[in-house]
Chain A
Amino acid sequence: QKEVEQNSGPLSVPEGAIASLNCTYSDRGSQSFFWYRQYSGKSPELIMSIYSNGDKEDGRFTAQLNKASQYVSLLIRDSQPSDSATYLCAVPKGAGNNRKLIWGLGTSLAVNP
């Protein structure tokens, strides 16, 4: 089992719809979770972080965490063509303040006008 898993996609949604991106992780002791967006040819950009069970909302983005199921998701409401990118789930591993991130392979999202 991979440490962090995501569906590779591509996930295609029409403009205005809700895009749902999923991520599972294997380390039950993980405490923090990050969602990054990466446009083609660009570096990753942090869009959401979540640490507690439940939902966390920021604008059109909602992160959902379920530690019992080892599952974290990202919902994008009112999807726009500019949301078309690869979304990466990342989980810090190890101890200390500068732990390395374990990455999922990313889900490619295409929002169709």
Chain B
Amino acid sequence: GAVVSQHPSRVICKSGTSVKIECRSLDFQATTMFWYRQFPKKSLMLMATSNEGSKATYEQGVEKDKFLINHASLTLSTLTVTSAHPEDSSFYICSANPGGGNYGYTFGSGTRLTVV
């Protein structure tokens, strides 16, 4: 089946540093990648939608200068958390639709970010 590979699975960084999260579609071309954040025991929150070759669309309240998204190819999208702070500690997950239309969306395995 369609796979979205997400790395790293877990990262600990110091406050003020930047962290890059990568998502690759392994056996399909992902023209669109969805980036989510999830706090413990909370629901998924869509942060932004990235489209290959164009600027990402951010959801209301999400700082685009803090969460930089790059979707330079049909198989790779990256999320960079810039100048991370402890409140950015969360579970970040990417997702793409391998089939288009009404097919289900595939998720990466997620990245647990801890900012100390």
Given contacts A97-B97, A100-B49, whether A34 and B104 have CB atoms under 8 Å apart is: yes
Q: Count chain B CB atoms within 10 A of each CB in A31, A101, A103, A104 and give the residue with the most.
A: A101
Interface stretch (choices B60-68, B77-85, B105-113): B105-113
Q: Chain B nearest CB: distance from A10 CB in Å?
A: 12
The proximity string for A residues 72-101 relative to B, scoring 1 for CB distances below 8 Å and 0 otherwise, is 000000000000000010101000011011
A90 to chain B, nearest CB (A): 8
B110 pairs with A31, CB closer than 8 A = no
The docked-state distance in angstroms from the alpha carbon of A92 to that of B105 is 10
- Given A42-B109, A43-B107, the answer on whether A103 and B100 have CB atoms closer than 8 Å is no
CB contacts (< 8 Å) of B93 on chain A: these are 43-44
The answer to whether B105 and A101 touch across the interface, beta carbons within 8 angstroms, is yes
Among A34, A41, A90, A100, the most chain B Cβ lie within 10 Å of the Cβ of A100
The 7 A-B residue pairs whose C-beta atoms are closest, nearest first, are A97-B100, A98-B32, A32-B102, A46-B104, A43-B110, A43-B107, A43-B93
